[in-house]
Amino acid sequence: MKFDQKGINCIKIRSMESQKISLDLHERTKVSVIFQAFFSLLCFSAAAWLLIKLIQTYSITGSNIIAVLFLFSFGLWELLSVTGTNERFIIFSADTVTIKDRYFSKPVIYRQADISLVAFRTLSFIIVSSDGKKDTVKLGNYYQEKTVKILESLNLFCKRNSIKVEGLEQDTEN
């Protein structure tokens, strides 16, 4: 895996450099995936053990079931993290922008020909498609360096593909 100077993922695709930027608080690494898998198995095991003990002692109550469900749910969330199902990201390539900004949604691919306008806002941007549909992507304020990198990359994508932008100060040439 290749990284640029700010630690952002760069992937080579068909001899064009593609840039993947995570929208999550932390980057996915092998170590984090291993820990997520371990904690997922630990939570599933603890939930199963607790449920078996509750059944054996005939002490199943509402609060005990809630504790088992919480452990199971947390284990499931960690398992989804291991598989990358709840990963959020933006990928910039030569003529497409792929955005997955919601946990359980499919990535949306915007082709250069389908975008009529990109409106930049504070901590967000709006992509207006050729048919007039508007999609707002909220970036948040957790890591301002990532937000700046995303907005710069999107602006560069728009310049390369001659897409109209709104909300940026225009460069003045002397």
Tell me how long the chain is. Answer: 174
Mean pLDDT across 87-93: 89
Overall average pLDDT of the 47-71 stretch: 92
Of all residues in the chain, the percent with pLDDT exceeding 70 is 86
User: Radius of gyration of the chain from Cα atoms?
Assistant: 22
pLDDT of residue 172: 40
Contacts of 157 by beta carbon, 8 Å cutoff, 6+ apart? 92, 97, 163
Average pLDDT over residues 64-86: 92
Please say whether the beta carbons of 112 and 70 come within 8 A: no
DSSP symbol at 5: T
Global confidence as pTM: 0.70
pLDDT at position 170: 52
Which residue's structure tokens are 């890591």? 143
Both structure tokens of 86: 């709840």
Q: What residue type is assigned to position 123 of the chain? A: L
Q: What is the pLDDT of residue 53?
A: 93
